[in-house]
Chain A
Amino acid sequence: MARQSNSYIHILRIVLAVVGAAVMLFVYLNHSEKLNTPLMDFFTDDFLAQTGADNAVAAIYLNYRVFDTLFEALMLMVSVMEVINVSWANKHSDRYQLEEDDMYYKNNSELVARMVGIVYPFVILLGLYIIANGHVSPGGGFQGGAILATALISRYLVYPNFDLDLHIIEKMEKILFLFIVLTPVLYVFMQIQPDNTVISHQVYMVFMNTLIGLKVFFGLSIIFYRFVFYEGADNTFIDR
């Protein structure tokens, strides 16, 4: 009996999902109302003169809608703090004796290690380029930070040892977040700007992109290394 009612509920859920998708698709495909795009018109009207950015997306997330960026940075920092602090491995860190000899070249192919070792300086270079040119070309802090984090992940492929002090990286991320909050508050909200804003807008864009890129880099690196070395430890190793 219970199994039967379970299967009824299962069918009900499937029907609910299908009906929901059908209703959404029907409503979406049959709407005939043409909406104007006032936000897009406002943002693409004169963004180079107003914000100093050639890239309209950078102009939006660093000047017009900078609140988004602030709370996004806060969200990433909260998740990093959660990954570091709310973890089973913290209270049981004595069982996580990371043995260096076992981990070194544990199951890495020689080919991958050598090739990644050749490639990863260029990955860092590409990440820095994308961060520095984020306001004049496609790119920006988030994308460049993710590419820099890829460099650190490829470092893990070459040299899978846990010799980074994640708490120092976390502290640096918090300091960077302080600067990420302070810079737009002073420059955009309180309008502490020089008279000729052509150069200072560009400096602001590059500075903010660099801060965001470094912060995303630190955040993703912390998440990756925590997951690889703490959360990913297998059960037999822990239950011992």
Chain B
Amino acid sequence: MKPLNLITGETVGILLFFIGLYGLMTKKTIVKTIMSMSIMQAGIYLFYITINYSPDTVPPIGQSREAAFADPVPSALMITAIVIGIGVTAIGLTMFMHYKQQHGITHWSRNRNQQGSEH
């Protein structure tokens, strides 16, 4: 298998997912945690919308069938997942702002006075 054939949407999606997981495990800033979650979601979207893809298909619109249809199922699933991702990000950011204003917490840390961007 040639190296270029390895760079498909699925492999990049898997890598993005694990980059997001790495961010979730190591970063101590809450905003960076939320960003990592978004990166994981992006990986999942990319994986799903490129799964079962072959270049000689046409979009599944109409009944003409000049060629085989592309798979509409992952697209339909990802439409809902994208909106849910927006909702999750909005909830996370709002809760972060609440904690920031109420307790002054910006890091996942026992030390409340921790500031700065070294993490």
Contacts and interface: CB of A to CB of B under 8 A. Distances in A.
Contacts of B101: 88, 92, 238
Q: What secondary structure prevails in chain B residues at the interface with A?
A: helix
B85 to A, nearest CB: 10
A24 to B, nearest CB: 5
Contacts of B1: 29
B14 interface: yes
Contact of B94 (A56, A68, A87, A136): A87
Interface residues of A, number: 54
Q: What secondary structure prevails in chain A residues at the interface with B?
A: helix
A159 interface: no
A57 B25 contact: no
A158 B17 CA distance: 38
A216 B83 contact: yes
A113 interface: no
A72 interface: yes
Given A68-B76, A87-B97, A76 B83 contact: yes
B113 interface: no
17 contacts: A13-B25, A17-B25, A21-B15, A29-B1, A40-B52, A44-B60, A48-B63, A56-B60, A59-B72, A60-B73, A60-B76, A68-B76, A68-B80, A69-B80, A76-B83, A79-B87, A92-B101
Interface of B: 1, 6, 10-11, 14-15, 17-19, 21-22, 25-26, 52, 59-63, 69, 71-73, 75-77, 79-80, 82-84, 86-88, 90-91, 93-95, 97-98, 100-102
Interface of A: 10, 13-14, 16-18, 20-21, 24-25, 28-29, 37, 39-40, 43-44, 47-48, 54-57, 59-61, 65, 68-69, 71-72, 75-76, 78-80, 82-83, 86-88, 92, 136-138, 140, 142, 216, 220, 223, 226-227, 231, 238
